[in-house]
Structure 1
Amino acid sequence: MKTWLITGCSSGFGRRLALAAALRGDQVIATARNAKSLEEMAAPFAGRMITLPLDVTDAASAKAAVARADEAFGGFDVLVNNAGYGLFGAIEEGTPEEYRTMFEVNVFGLIETTRAALPVLRRKSGTIVNMSSGAGIAGSGGAGYYNAAKFAVEGLSEALAGELKPFGIKVMIVEPGPFRTDFLGRSIAMAANEMPEYAASSRRHYRETNNGNQAGDPDKAIAVILQAVDAEAPPLHLPLGPAAHAIAERKLAAFRSDIDAWRDISIATDFDQP
C-alpha cells in the first residue's frame, strides 16, 4: 500500500488519480486550494483519503500540508505535483499579470511543494511525479508561455532525478497529450490582448473546437501512471497518448537533423592545440 500526496485534486488528472489510488486500497492526501470541494470525493474511503487545503503559491501552505500529512499517515511515498493551468496566446499578446501568475502556480508552486516534501521523501525513499505536458517536449506558436513553464518543469525534474538518486527517490515526468478532461475548459486562460496579427497561430479556435472532443481517455492515462509508479524502474519521461509520442518523435528527429547538419562547424570551437 502506498500513501500519496496529490496537489490540484479539484478536477482533471489530480481528482482522477486520487480516486484511482484510493479505490485500489492506497492512502491519499488529496489537496486543493478549497479543500471543501474534495470532501464528497473522500467520504466513501473511511479515513484512507483525507483532504487538506494547499495553495501551491504559498510556501507556508505547502509546509503546513506536508506537516499534517506526515502527522496523519506518518509521511507519504508519492508526491504528485499536478496543480497548474495553461495560458494560450502569442508572446506579444501576453501581459506580466497573466504569465507571471501562471509561472507562480506551474513552476514556483511546484518548487515550493517539492521542497517542503523532500525531507519526508528522503526518509521514505519515495517517488515524485511531476505533471508536465506534450507542451513541455516541444514549443508551438500560441502556447509559448505554457511551453516555457512546462520546459522549466522538465529541466527541474531532470536535475532532481540526479540529485535524489542517492536517496532512492525516483522522479517521473508525465507528458500527456490531449485527454478529455476539463483542461481546455476551466484550466486554460487566454491572453486578453487578442491581436489580429497572430490570428494564424492563435489557439482560440483549437480550444473552442477541441474542448470535450479530445481523443484521449483520462482513465486509461491514470492506469498507465499507476503502473509506472509501481514499476521497479519507472521512466524519467512518460509521454501519454499518440499525440504526445508524435511530438516527442518530431522533436528528436528535428534535434538530430540540426546536430548532424552543423556538427563539424559547431564542434570546432575549442582553442587550437599547439
Structure 2
Amino acid sequence: MMKTWLITGCSSGLGRQLAEAVAARGDRLVATARSTESLKSLCDRYPETVRSIPLDVARTGDAARAVDLAESAFGDLDVLVNNAGFGFIGAIEEGEPDEYRPMFEVNLFGLIETTRAALPALRKRPGARIVNLSSGAGIAGSAGFGFYNASKFAVEGLSEALADELRPLGVHVIIVEPGPFRTDFLGRSMITAVREIAAYAETVPARRQYRQTNNGRQDGDPVKAVAVMLQAVDAAHPPLHLPIGPRAHATAEQKLDSFRADIAAWRDISIATDFDPPDGAA
C-alpha cells in the first residue's frame, strides 16, 4: 500500500539514500533539508509524488509547516523519519558548550519538536511509523564520543517511552542503530573539539584519527542499510530496536554481555535494599 513519508535531513547520507528509495518505489514523500536546492533533482524526477520544503529541525515552526505540506499535498502522513543530525568528537573535558550544545539542539530537541508536530497527523493513521535514527553510539558509550553518545542515548530513551505511549494507538516506533556506513557522516556531518588536552592522549586522539582515515572508506553499504529500514517499516510487527551492520550488532552484544555480568556480580548485594520487615512479621 502506498505510504506518505516525511524525512528530515535528505540532503545527503542515509537520509538522501532513503528518500531516493522511497520515491523510486512509488510512495509519496515530503523531503526536507535546511536548503532545498539539493532536493530539486529528486522533485524533478518524481513531480507527482515528491515535494520538498526547507526544514531546520532547530528552528521553531519548520516542522509544523512540513507536516502541513504532507497533509495538504497528499492527504495524510504515514511515516516520519527523524534522520537529521551530526556528530562530535572530543573528550568531555575538551568540549565547549558552543560546540556540543548545537548538536543536542539538532539530534535531540529537534527530533522531539519534529515528532510532536507530526503526532496529530500520525495518530489518525493506525499502522503509522516513527523511525528515529540513533546509532551504534546510542547503544554503548566510548571515549571521545561522549557528547554524541549522550545525544543518541537520549533518543533511545525518548523513543522507548514514545513507543509505550503509542502502542495502544497502533503507531509503531523503530529505533535505527546503524554502524559505520559509507556516507559523509565522518566528513561534513562530524565536528571535533577545538581544544585538545594531553591527559587524554591514550584514548581520544584515536577517535580523531579514525575520522581522518575512515571517511569515505566505511565498510557499510548505504543502499543495503536503507533496504533493511524499508523492510522494517513495511513489517506487520516492526522491531523497536534495529541495529544495522555487523559493527552495530557486535556493539549491542558486547553491551548486553557487560550489563549482564555487572548485574550477576552485584545482584545479591544490590537487591537487598528494601525496608526490613517489622519485628514479628512473617
Pairwise same-fold verdict (TM > 0.5): yes
Q: Does 1:138 align with 2:140?
A: yes
- Residue 12 of structure 1 corresponds to 13
* CA positional deviation for 1:41: 2.0
TM-score under structure 2 length normalisation? 0.96
Q: Does 1:96 align with 2:97?
A: yes
What does 1:157-196 align with in structure 2 at a 5 Å threshold?
157-196=159-198
What 5-or-longer segments of structure 1 have no aligned partner?
A: none
Number of residues of Structure 1 aligned to a counterpart in Structure 2 = 274
- Residue 83 of structure 1 corresponds to 84
Among all aligned residue pairs of Structure 1 and Structure 2, give the percentage whose two residues are the same amino acid.
67
- Residue 31 of structure 1 corresponds to 32
Q: Does 1:197 align with 2:206?
A: no
TM-score under structure 1 length normalisation? 0.99
Distance 2:132 2:91 in 1: 26
Q: Does 1:248 align with 2:252?
A: yes
What 5-or-longer segments of structure 2 have no aligned partner?
A: none
Secondary structure of 1:162's partner? helix
Q: Give, as a single letter, the amino acid of the residue that structure 2 aligns with 1:259.
A: I
Deviations 1:104-134 (A, max 9, x none): 0000000000000000000112100000000
* CA positional deviation for 1:59: 2.6
- Residue 260 of structure 1 corresponds to 264
Moved beyond 4 Å, runs of 4+: none
Secondary structure of 2:201's partner? helix
What does 1:36-75 align with in structure 2 at a 5 Å threshold?
36-75=37-76
* CA positional deviation for 1:35: 1.3
Secondary structure of 2:123's partner? helix
Distance 2:173 2:60 in 1: 21
CA contact (8 A) 1:106 1:149 kept: yes
Which deviates the most, 239-248 or 200-209? 200-209
Deviations 1:215-243 (A, max 9, x none): 11110000000001000000000000000
Distance 2:275 2:139 in 1: 34
Distance 2:108 2:55 in 1: 15
Secondary structure of 2:71's partner? helix
Distance 1:28 1:117 in 2: 14
CA contact (8 A) 1:132 1:154 kept: yes
Secondary structure of 1:123's partner? coil
Q: Does 1:232 align with 2:236?
A: yes
Secondary structure of 2:143's partner? coil
CA contact (8 A) 1:87 1:189 kept: yes
Secondary structure of 2:229's partner? helix
